[in-house]
């Protein structure tokens, strides 16, 4: 069974940590650094799970999430939103725009792995 995750994140330390955690569990981890071109990348080859940072260069994770939810081809894609802020407003926006799950940085490695696997199996609906 395919286990492909696309990580849209611009912080090298976060990218390496998530790549390590997930690839050890058999996930194929692809990364994308730029918010401005992220939607094109997602639509071109939809992953099994999308891990999406809120603060990105070019376009915010919230704007990306709104766009993919509006496209029937990607509307049901499981999305884990990551944010460094963790403020109530960020969580509310993630819910409003249709994130499947929401996690603040710093995060526990085991929590990321558990959440991504749950999203793949359909255990989460939306936040």
Say which residue the tokens 């969580």 belong to.
91
Residues with Cβ within 8 Å of 84's Cβ and at least 6 positions away in sequence, in order, are: 54, 55, 104, 105
Question: Does 66 map to a domain?
Answer: yes
Cα 50 → chain centroid: 4
* 3-class state of residue 93 by DSSP: helix
Helix (H) or strand (E) holding 64: helix 61-70
Partners of residue 5 on adjacent β-strands: 29, 49
Low-confidence ranges of the chain (pLDDT < 70): 86, 124-127
127 in any annotated domain = no
Tell me the per-residue pLDDT of 72-92, one tens digit each, with 9 for 90 and over: 999 999 999 999 876 888 889
Domain span at 93: 4-121
The edge-to-edge listing of strands for the beta sheet with 28-32 is 28-32, 4-8, 49-53, 79-83, 101-104
- Structural domain tally of the chain? 1
CATH number where 85 lies: 3.40.50.2300
Whether residue 126 lies inside any domain: the answer is no
- Whether 44 is covered by a domain: the verdict is yes
Average pLDDT over all residues of the chain = 93
- Whole-model pTM: value is 0.94
Domain-embedded: residue 55: yes
């Amino acid at each position: 069974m395919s286990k492909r995750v696309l990580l849209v994140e611009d912080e090298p330390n976060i990218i390496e940590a998530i790549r390590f955690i997930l690839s050890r569990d058999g996930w194929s981890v692809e990364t994308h650094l730029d918010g401005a071109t992220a939607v094109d990348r997602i639509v071109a080859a939809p992953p099994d799970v999308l891990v999406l940072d809120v603060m990105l260069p070019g376009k915010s994770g919230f704007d990306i999430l709104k766009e993919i939810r509006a496209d029937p081809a990607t509307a049901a894609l499981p999305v884990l939103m990551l944010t460094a802020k963790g403020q109530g407003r960020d969580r509310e926006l993630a819910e409003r725009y249709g994130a499947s799950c929401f996690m603040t940085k710093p995060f526990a490695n085991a929590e990321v792995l558990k959440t991504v696997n749950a999203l793949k199996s359909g255990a989460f609906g939306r936040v």
